[in-house]
Amino acid sequence: MDSKKIKNMPRHIAIIMDGNNRWAKKRFLPGVAGHKAGADAVRAVIRACMQQGVEALTLFAFSSENWQRPAQEVNALMELFLLSLRREIKQLHKHNIRLRIIGEKSGFSSDIQQAIADAETLTQDNTALQLNVAANYGGRWDIAQAARQLAQQVAEGTLQPDDITEEQLSRMVSLHDLPAPDLCIRTAGEQRISNFLLWQFAYTEFYYSDLLWPDFREQALVEAIEDYSGRQRRFGKTSEQVEGKVDA
């Protein structure tokens, strides 16, 4: 697919990467094998986004609820996260990709926090693709931390409660400097948000794939973009207004 022929190309794609464990179980492998295979899918999707001219890609890697998983799996995920930060960052930097981690970073070990800081600093001036990885992230946490920032301003006397607006809260949530996600893809046949980008998804289009995440590659992303490109986004208006047949 030639991105130049696509109308309504999404600027920002978010992905809920689901199905790593199921992929491993189908092959009688430990769960960590599925997460490692999922890392290959991440690389493939990053390449495809760059080829298609997508500006931002946000991946849901580890939710704030995932700490409840078995300790062995959580530990393996943390080791894989740290290894990926250290190994992949040079390639990301080489390809002019900016990396940002969103979520409660203080919940990670000092080694992971330092690796995050190093990766973000190294790539902060890159412009080809904004890659956001949501780790120890929850949509409710995001809204709550934004509310706390506004509450602090009220406590300091620099903001009146009656002056709080949606726009002000929007400026406090994660990814506030990017366009809201146009398209959210969820793999493995599940159809729920799972506490991901609750504020940012107000008008996001959703696409569900039956593929398990490790099997989701370039062509699957192309199919999702093609599906999105055929939709009409109305943002509360009528079809006639969007098409310019009546006054807006």
Per-residue pLDDT tens digits for 46-105? 999 999 999 999 999 989 888 988 888 898 889 999 999 999 999 999 999 999 999 999
Indicate if 96 belongs to the active site. Answer: no
Share of the chain above pLDDT 90, in %: 82
Q: How many whole angstroms separate alpha carbon 91 and alpha carbon 230?
A: 34
Q: E strands, the chain, where?
A: 12-16, 56-63, 97-102, 129-137, 183-186, 205-208
157 or 238, higher pLDDT: 157
- pLDDT for 3: 45
* Residue ranges of domains in the chain: 7-138+180-231
7-138+180-231 belongs to CATH 3.90.1150.150? no
Point out the catalytic residue in the list 66, 126, 215, 227.
Answer: 66
Q: What is the DSSP letter of 180?
A: P
Q: Tell me which of 4-8, 75-79, 98-102, 137-141 is least confident.
A: 4-8
**pTM exceeds cut of 0.95:** no
- Does residue 210 carry a catalytic annotation? no
pLDDT at 155 over 90: yes
